[in-house]
Structure 1
Amino acid sequence: MSSTEPPELRAAPSSVAPPDNLQSQKGETLRTVRLAGLTLAVRGRAVRRPDLPPALYVHGLGGSSQNWSALMGQLSDTVDGEALDLPGFGHSPPPDDGDYSVSGHARAVIRQLEAAGRGKVHLLGNSMGGAVATRVAAVRPDLVRTLTLVSPALPELRPQRTAMPTALLALPGVTALFGKLTRDWTAERRTREVLTLCYGDPARVTAEGFAAAVAEYERRLELPYFWDSLSRSARGIVNAYTLNGQHSLWRQAERVLAPTLLVYGGRDLLVSFRMARRASAAFRDSRLLTLPEAGHVAMMEYPEVVAGAFRELLMDTERTPEILKGS
């Protein structure tokens, strides 16, 4: 089902109790962290040992910290993990400055890492969160120990046709039009459409998981900024794709010093599977995990496999200094 191969085949924050409407998954905690001009919801879970290294998970467009719950559970014996809701998503309100660009989201991640003061973290990102994590690792190597990217949204010269509707969300007025065209859709139908787009096999979603996803979708649709944060973040991705020079995401990928794990799904309708080899060549110290049956959210579909590859990355990282010492 999977293969792991080397590339080339070779102001002080205040943590407060969350509002009553914040719901956490079983075994998880959810809190809000307030920074100047920014409020972030941060999801965590009890760690099994006090000496575990820190990790931070960053979700993709339209997602939330809940996207990482399955993997966080798998890795609770390996890292002290936290997952944040990017500004305007999940339980995080919009940023005061209205900046939904990839750089704006990256600044939010950097501010949270600095405020938490946990030192270098194992940084994991999916889709848009992968682009954000790439930028963070490139500009602030002092904050990132390793980098794990699941279907990262890095620029494609020829995007897949199935990804075009998502890209159209970046156009002014499209989300309003979509809202009108789908006003009669139930939350169940909306959720089913999202799962079909993101999962290699939507049948892997349990009835309980589907019901939870529907409830979350209903909650978000009531938020006055739901469509605005979605469309402006989509516009931020499109704009990031057009940047050249040192601000290009591919150029920044080349600058990443952290050991990197790349995860790509063979049935991904949003990020082309063919981008795996280009990414492997761009990140200087990378490993590649391919999951032929997975879609866009491999950490949700095959969390145990992704967790295994992540542990291998950590073992390789811990082994490298020993090899250098002995050489």
Structure 2
Amino acid sequence: MNLFTRTHGDGPAVLWIHGYTMDSSVWKELWTLLPGWRHVGVDLPGHGRSGPLPPGTSLSAVGAELAALARAESARLVVAESIGSMIALQMAIGDPEAIRGLIIGSPTIAGAPAEPGTGDRYRALAALARFGASGEQLADLWMSSPPDIFRGTERHPALRARLRSVVARHAWKELSDGAMYGLSRHVHTAQDLGGIRAATLVVVGDEDMPTFRTSAELLRATVPRCRTLTVPAAGHLCLIERPETVASAVGDHLLLAEREGLRADSPVL
């Protein structure tokens, strides 16, 4: 896979994974609030400036590809949101030694029930794309409610406008070639999640959709070293909706995981 990355700052490396139809530029505001780290944002396959997601690609394959990228960047800390969090969980399951710290926003567990209305929205998007709709038209449909993926951004008009411009650039190729099917058929079992070794922080908006709040509780109960943070007045995209609110907790967790890793890596005298 041909993956595009953008970086910001200097220090220990952190890999950032965005949500569906977005790209790594959505993290810039939060990055500026977290000095002292080398933030590495990756555009997911089929998103931004990365190459396409080949049809039939499994979640395991995407997770392995991003784990290899994390190793190449010396990034053993990962922050991810929405569908990006599903990939981050797979990275920690498939290559547990590669990841020492996880921050999971808007937690998405592979195989968990979808929020009602999500399937209908994908079908409507695919139909609109077949009729040659513009990127702006597709973005407006995707960002409308229900499901309430973008509802929390209505409080933040400037953020919503920036996200709309990013989503409008999305190619939507996965709607026509079925590339998302390989990811959606994967299932994360309780045994899978229980094998995650990374110190994990799950961040969820108090106004997020019920399925994602349920997933947050499942991760807290299943992942061995997991705690949760609920963000007030935040919807599904809590990390980018409320960067000033979450920055301190994100920075503290990154620092904790980095220090734990340094102690573990120290030679025994």
**Which range, TM-score by smaller chain?**
0.7 to 0.9
Instruction: Kindly indicate whether residue 66 of structure 2 is the aligned counterpart of residue 109 of structure 1.
Output: yes
Measured after TM superposition, the shift of residue 79 of structure 1 is: 1.9
Following the alignment from structure 2 to structure 1, what is the Cα–Cα distance between the partners of residues 194 and 224?
A: 6
Q: In the alignment, which residue of structure 2 is the partner of 1:29?
A: none
Q: Percent identity of the aligned residues?
A: 22
Question: Is the CA contact 2:85–2:106 (under 8 Å) kept in the aligned structure 1?
Answer: yes
Question: Is the CA contact 1:43–1:84 (under 8 Å) kept in the aligned structure 2?
Answer: yes
Measured after TM superposition, the shift of residue 90 of structure 1 is: 1.0
- Residue 145 and residue 224 in structure 1: after superposition, are their counterparts in 2 closer, same or farther (change >3 A)? closer
Q: In the alignment, which residue of structure 2 is the partner of 1:203?
A: 154
Measured after TM superposition, the shift of residue 296 of structure 1 is: 1.5
Following the alignment from structure 2 to structure 1, what is the Cα–Cα distance between the partners of residues 24 and 262?
A: 33
Question: Is the CA contact 1:100–1:236 (under 8 Å) kept in the aligned structure 2?
Answer: yes
TM-score normalised over the length of structure 1: 0.68
**After TM superposition, where is structure 1 displaced by more than 6 Å over at least 4 residues in a row?**
319-322
- Residue 156 and residue 113 in structure 1: after superposition, are their counterparts in 2 closer, same or farther (change >3 A)? closer
Q: Where in structure 2 are there 5+ consecutive unaligned residues? A: 264-269
Secondary structure in 2 aligned to 1:71? helix
Q: In the alignment, which residue of structure 1 is the partner of 2:31?
A: 72
- Residue 139 and residue 320 in structure 1: after superposition, are their counterparts in 2 closer, same or farther (change >3 A)? closer
Structural RMSD (CA): 3.1
Q: In the alignment, which residue of structure 2 is the partner of 1:34?
A: none
Measured after TM superposition, the shift of residue 78 of structure 1 is: 3.6
Which residues in structure 2 correspond to 1:78-97 (within 5 Å)? Answer: 78-95=36-53, 97=54
Q: Where in structure 1 are there 5+ consecutive unaligned residues? A: 1-37, 242-247, 323-327
Which of 245, 253, 267 is 1:313 aligned to? Answer: 253
Residue identity in the other structure for 2:29: A
Question: Is the CA contact 2:15–2:40 (under 8 Å) kept in the aligned structure 1?
Answer: yes
Larger Rg: 1
Q: In the alignment, which residue of structure 2 is the partner of 1:39?
A: 2
Following the alignment from structure 1 to structure 2, what is the Cα–Cα distance between the partners of residues 224 and 131?
A: 19
- Residue 270 and residue 182 in structure 1: after superposition, are their counterparts in 2 closer, same or farther (change >3 A)? farther
Q: In the alignment, which residue of structure 1 is the partner of 2:267?
A: none
Per-residue CA distance 1:273-297 (angstroms, 9 max, x = gap): 1322211011100111012421111
Secondary structure in 1 aligned to 2:185? helix
Q: In the alignment, which residue of structure 2 is the partner of 1:290?
A: 230
- Residue 81 and residue 232 in structure 1: after superposition, are their counterparts in 2 closer, same or farther (change >3 A)? same
Following the alignment from structure 1 to structure 2, what is the Cα–Cα distance between the partners of residues 251 and 85?
A: 29
Measured after TM superposition, the shift of residue 298 of structure 1 is: 0.8
Following the alignment from structure 1 to structure 2, what is the Cα–Cα distance between the partners of residues 141 and 175?
A: 36
Per-residue CA distance 1:38-75 (angstroms, 9 max, x = gap): 2111011133xxxx211001122222112322222221
Per-residue CA distance 1:255-314 (angstroms, 9 max, x = gap): 111100001122223843132221101110011101242111111111122221122324
Which of 207, 212, 217 is 1:277 aligned to? Answer: 217
TM-score normalised over the length of structure 2: 0.81
Question: Is the CA contact 2:135–2:169 (under 8 Å) kept in the aligned structure 1?
Answer: no
- Residue 79 and residue 152 in structure 1: after superposition, are their counterparts in 2 closer, same or farther (change >3 A)? same
Secondary structure in 2 aligned to 1:144? coil
Paired positions, count: 260
Instruction: Kindly indicate whether residue 97 of structure 2 is the aligned counterpart of residue 147 of structure 1.
Output: no
Question: Is the CA contact 1:101–1:232 (under 8 Å) kept in the aligned structure 2?
Answer: no
Per-residue CA distance 1:186-205 (angstroms, 9 max, x = gap): 71673475165323433333
Following the alignment from structure 2 to structure 1, what is the Cα–Cα distance between the partners of residues 6 and 216?
A: 29
Question: Is the CA contact 2:13–2:77 (under 8 Å) kept in the aligned structure 1?
Answer: yes
Q: In the alignment, which residue of structure 1 is the partner of 2:13?
A: 54
Per-residue CA distance 1:71-94 (angstroms, 9 max, x = gap): 22221x142111101111111111
